[in-house]
Amino acid sequence: MTILAETRAADTLQDDFQKVRALTAALATPLSDADASGQSMPDASPAKWHLAHTTWFLETFLLAGRSGYRLFDDRFGFLFNSYYESVGPRLRRDRRGMLTRPSLDDVLAFRAHVDAAMVRHWQDFDTPARALVTLAINHEQQHQELLLTDILDLFAANPLEPALFPHPGQTAVARPGGWTRHAGGICRIGHDGAGFAFDCEGPAHDVLLRPFALADTLVTNADWIAFIDAGGYRDPRLWLSDGWAWVQRDGIAAPLRWQQGPDGWSSFTLSGRRAVDPAAPVTHLSFYEADAFASWAGARLPTEAEWEVAAAGADPAAGVQLNRAGPVAPVGSASLFGDCWQWTASAFLPYPGFRAVDGAVGEYNGKFMNGQMVLKGASCATPRGSSRASVRNFFTPAQRWQFTGLRLAKDI
């Protein structure tokens, strides 16, 4: 991860930092110690771990070694390091759910200890340190989204199907479909160097695109039900070989957490089990499902370059995104951003000229450029203001516990 530029004044940066830290704590407020300790699968982490890891990040990269700073607990480095090999050994990811201790109260005390130290040392932070603070803010915003999606997966595994938040009370509005044409040609993609970006977003470079069109709306639940009713999950001609093997092996027949009952389809949400809203964007899809649907619809997935070119000039803070600790649900918008991350046809690979930054933070993205697919946009759980057209989210093709959906593309 790289800070390409830091333009915010120190006081503005401190205010942003405190707001992000407060939002993380607020998202976890409804959780019991048991809620915060559970791990539903190896890809997910306990809420308690997210709260501690984002704090470990600050302690490790900004506070450790500073005069007068005392480590809260020297055992926490092993417990809450994620994947920074150069920092030291760590607990295996699939064992994070074994951390019944430290308690949630202990983790919150850890956060308070580090937050107080950040205030004490704030005036000591030079320009490189302030760049690391910006990195820490963006890092924590990523974990805010993961915290919500991991809680969703955990609560879905509970037979009681508890709700984290009340239902937002909104229903989606059906939007007319359409296509926006793009001329293609030689186009510039990647981060332009103004403000913060993760290292994988650059360098900016030129790509050659053929003329294409991008759908004006996300694929909806009604669209997906039509795909199911048409036998989409039973037709091997629509599926990539690995995708068809996944469907057969795991018995996939609908998006994650969908159930069909006498009254139709329902899905499990952060507000408990709810009837599927036909007009809302479909979410919790794998890349394999998105690609199969596009084939069935006579279209295709956009490349990440096409999506980014189409998003030029769009407001990345528009659409349905996370504003506060409260109801979270995709309800649809006219924006390219928000509601759900959108699968693309592009593999997560380095851009021409990519180089990981020096030091431990250089392990952030480059080491994962293998076997992953790129998603663009933002979701209803993405903190508003943290996305950009150049952001490259990435997951392996079968993963679908995030708010992942799709927007169609076609050749002209």
* 338 contacts: CB under 8 Å, gap ≥ 6: 318, 319, 320, 321, 377, 378, 379, 380, 382
Confidence check: pLDDT of 360 > 70: no
Closest CA to 212 of 381, 76, 88, 344: 344
Structure-block tokens of residue 318: 């528009």
The stretch 372-395 carries a mean pLDDT of 97
Confidence check: pLDDT of 362 > 70: no
Cα 164 to its chain centre, rounded Å, is: 19
Distance CA 166, CA 164 (A): 7
3-class secondary-structure state, position 237: helix
Distances (CA, A) of 265 to 165, 174, 222: 21, 18, 10
Q: Is the pTM of this model over 0.75?
A: yes
Q: Which neighbouring-strand residues pair with 181?
A: 213
Task: State percent of the chain over pLDDT 90.
Answer: 87
Q: What CATH class does 179-411 carry?
A: alpha beta
DSSP code at position 302: P
The answer to whether 36 and 170 are in contact (CB under 8 A) is no
Task: Pinpoint the alpha helices (H) of 235-384.
Answer: 241-250, 287-296, 304-310
Burial pattern 224-239, b for ≥16 Cβ within 10 A else e, equals: bbebbeeebbeeeebb
5-46 residue pLDDT tens: 344 566 799 999 999 999 999 999 999 999 999 999 999 999
Q: Taking the domain 10-156, which CATH number applies?
A: 1.20.120
Domain boundary assignment for the chain? 10-156, 179-411
Task: State percent of the chain over pLDDT 70.
Answer: 96
The stretch 87-103 carries a mean pLDDT of 95
Structure-block tokens of residue 310: 């189409």
State the DSSP H helix or E strand holding residue 343, giving kind and residue range, or none if neither.
Answer: strand 341-347
Distance CA 40, CA 134 (A): 31
Confidence check: pLDDT of 363 > 60: no
Confidence check: pLDDT of 85 > 90: no
